[in-house]
Amino acid sequence: MTDRLFQRATEFVVTDGRTPFLLGNGSALIADTHADAKGRRAIKLWRMTADGQPDSPITTVSYWRPTHSRLTKALHINDIMQVASRYYLR
């Protein structure tokens, strides 16, 4: 099961959060496509419909920035795995 989660986390990171990270409980992690005023993009937990489409956001779980420096946080597989483990099958 960990390999499947790692594969989904990799797809999520490679596509900058545009590929939903399905959590197996009718929800998924999806990143915003537009940044807020601080340059951050939110990663939100979304409720999914039966046909696999995003329905409504439940909560914001994390933020990331598309550029990486010492002052900003880039999107990393380990971060996504930690977030997903908090919400997986709950």
Q: Are 28 and 52 in contact (CB under 8 A)?
A: no
Q: Name, in order, each residue with C-beta under 8 angstroms of 48's C-beta and a sequence gap of 6 or more.
A: 20, 22, 26, 27, 28, 54, 55
The predicted model scores a pTM of: 0.75
pLDDT in tens, 17-51: 888 888 878 888 898 888 888 888 888 989 999 88
pLDDT in tens, 6-19: 888 888 888 888 88
3-state SS assignment for residue 87: helix
**Token couple for 5:** 């989660």
Burial 10-23 (b: 16+ CB within 10 A, else e): eebbeeebebbbbb
Q: Domain limits of the chain? A: 2-87
